[in-house]
Structure 1
Amino acid sequence: MHPIPPLRIIIVEDLPGIRQDLEDFLRQQPGFTVIGACATVHEAIVLIHATKPDLLLLDINLPDGTGFDILEQMSPPHPKVIFLTAHAEHTIKAIRYGAIDYLLKPLNEKELTEALQRVISAQPLLQEQIAITLHSFRKNKLQDHLALRTQQFVQIVELKEICYLQVDNGCTTVYINGGKKLVTTRTLKDYEEQLSGASFLRTHKSYLVNELYIHRYHPKEGILCLKDGTQIPVSLRKKEMIGLYFKTLWALCTGSSS
């Protein structure tokens, strides 16, 4: 049985101190080898085309552009990517929409180790993941697609096809119209933050529901019935919010302000 070759990494980071720290850290990690490091978009594109790396550690803000500019100019097959970012909520949201991994600066060795372990079993980026991420970043608005990352693959799903999400034992199961479901690696809180502003209601600590699939609400029992018959619990803490949602909806439908 042949040994698995190490993942070949390029570091794209404009701060020399962080770049050097990453190189030093990666030299100590089995299964990884640094084949290049650079500080600009232009240098990165030349280096990526010449070496075809397996993984990019990719800073977002670079002197001549952004890490997203590099993604846009890569041709398939795409390497795996871990973004490095210091801030910008909408930037992180764009990365999450595309289900691409990221690390916040200042970098933490434990979190870096965990991200590297995740990336070993991750698939190379899909063109659709890159398109979703770029569109969300450039337009800074809600996406109509979501990249769902499971342990085995990434699947692109339209938001309107997601019925509800349920958390169980730390994993989030996404229930899709037509009876399909996917167990994903992100938390329900992650999805709630991503989908803020979209048509999703947090009815319970374990449930996030797409308004499009709500059929009936039983306030006394604290139950939402979906169009397919699924019953979703409404917690005591969420009853007031859900009641207000239906009151507002009723007012809009009837033209009543009472």
Structure 2
Amino acid sequence: MIQPQKPHYRAILVEDELRTRHMLEEMIEQKVTVADVELIASCGSIREALPIFKSLRVRPDIVFLDINLPDGPVFDLLEAIKPVDFEIIFITAYDEYTRQACQYASIAYLNKPVSEEELNEAVQRAAEYRGRHIQERLSTMKQAATGSAGAVPERVVLSTQEEICFVDPDDIIRVEADGNYSRVVVKEGNAFRTVVLSQNIGKFEEMLPPVGFFKTHRAHIVNIAHVRRYLRNDSTLLMEDGGTVLVSRRRKNQLLDLLEGRVPH
């Protein structure tokens, strides 16, 4: 049986830590199994990266980019090499806010030290996102990454096979687990629609603002502002879209405290 040919991507690596850069060069060329990645250039600063980008006749498909470069903010580099018509995989030492910002914006990222599995997952995700509103996603990511700790971005990015939706977190009614997928109910004007994401509810929970959302059950997350009624007899919530959501016994008292205003949410 003939195996399907792997997609081929041209890549650039910008990483200031020499040891990490050499390790990633080797991993990108030898350990990526989900695609054939050709590393066409590697450097360690904005000053070194600028002439590389300006000299290219054909732009890269993917850029592996350290979020903390020694000679300036990474967004200065992206501004200088516009248009950004390639996918980005950010590289970072473990940083909760950067990680959350990438998740908000549906941008792939790598945590140092990078594992082979994580590298392949990031390349796969970048491949899925390629060509899909990268400039808008970067704007969302920048707003989340450069805001104050725990700041909520103006929009959450919902990326599906068919489209990328930019949604105000306040318009998310609820999220329901569906195996390895998540069904997100969103308010659009006076109507509601469901967006199906190819990520489990645990992953999607990390994208949501820490304030205003509550996990009522392992399979359900609700926006407290869109709860219309709590039915005590069967311990369920009636949501603004007409859907009902089960509340687990373990989370019932905490939810009631939120609904009755005894603790902030």
TM-score by length of 2: 0.85
Q: 1:93-132 CA distances to partner (integer Å, 9 max, x unpaired)?
A: 1111111111111010122122223323322352211111
Aligned residues: percent identity? Answer: 31
Question: Aligned-pair distance for 1:31?
Answer: 1.8
Q: Which of 8, 13, 16 lines up with 1:14 in the alignment?
A: 16
Counterparts of 1:45 and 1:24 in 2: how far apart (Å)? 23
Query: Residue 255 of structure 1 corresponds to which residue in structure 2?
Result: none
Please, which runs of 5 or more residues in structure 2 have no aligned partner?
A: none
Conservation of the 8 A alpha-carbon contact between 1:59 and 1:66: no
Query: Residue 186 of structure 1 corresponds to which residue in structure 2?
Result: 199
Conservation of the 8 A alpha-carbon contact between 2:67 and 2:74: yes
Partner-residue secondary structure (3-state), 2:82 = coil
Structure showing greater relative contact order (alpha-carbon pairs closer than 8 Å, 6 or more residues apart)? 2
Counterparts of 2:181 and 2:153 in 1: how far apart (Å)? 23
- Residue 41 of structure 2 corresponds to residue 33 of structure 1: no
Please, which runs of 5 or more residues in structure 1 have no aligned partner?
A: 253-258
Q: Which of 142, 155, 158 lines up with 1:134 in the alignment?
A: 142
Conservation of the 8 A alpha-carbon contact between 1:23 and 1:34: yes
Query: Residue 226 of structure 2 corresponds to which residue in structure 1?
Result: 213
TM-score by length of 1: 0.87
- Residue 259 of structure 2 corresponds to residue 246 of structure 1: yes
> Aligned residues, how many?
249
Query: Residue 154 of structure 1 corresponds to which residue in structure 2?
Result: 164
Question: Aligned-pair distance for 1:236?
Answer: 0.7
Query: Residue 67 of structure 1 corresponds to which residue in structure 2?
Result: 74
Query: Residue 79 of structure 1 corresponds to which residue in structure 2?
Result: 86
Flag the 1:237–1:115 CA change in 2: closer, same or farther, 3 A.
same
Counterparts of 2:232 and 2:125 in 1: how far apart (Å)? 42
Conservation of the 8 A alpha-carbon contact between 1:57 and 1:81: yes
Q: Which of 57, 60, 63 lines up with 1:53 in the alignment?
A: 60
Task: Please identify, of 235-244 and 183-192, the stretch whose mean Cα deviation from structure 2 is larger.
Answer: 183-192
Conservation of the 8 A alpha-carbon contact between 2:65 and 2:88: yes
Q: 1:59-110 CA distances to partner (integer Å, 9 max, x unpaired)?
A: 1111112433333444235211111111221111111111111111101012
Query: Residue 114 of structure 2 corresponds to which residue in structure 1?
Result: 107
Question: Aligned-pair distance for 1:247?
Answer: 2.1
Flag the 1:159–1:64 CA change in 2: closer, same or farther, 3 A.
same
Matched letter for residue 144 of structure 2: S
Counterparts of 2:167 and 2:160 in 1: how far apart (Å)? 13
Flag the 1:71–1:237 CA change in 2: closer, same or farther, 3 A.
farther
Question: Aligned-pair distance for 1:197?
Answer: 3.2
* Aligned-residue RMSD, C-alpha: 2.3
Counterparts of 2:77 and 2:229 in 1: how far apart (Å)? 47
Counterparts of 1:122 and 1:64 in 2: how far apart (Å)? 29
- Residue 163 of structure 2 corresponds to residue 163 of structure 1: no
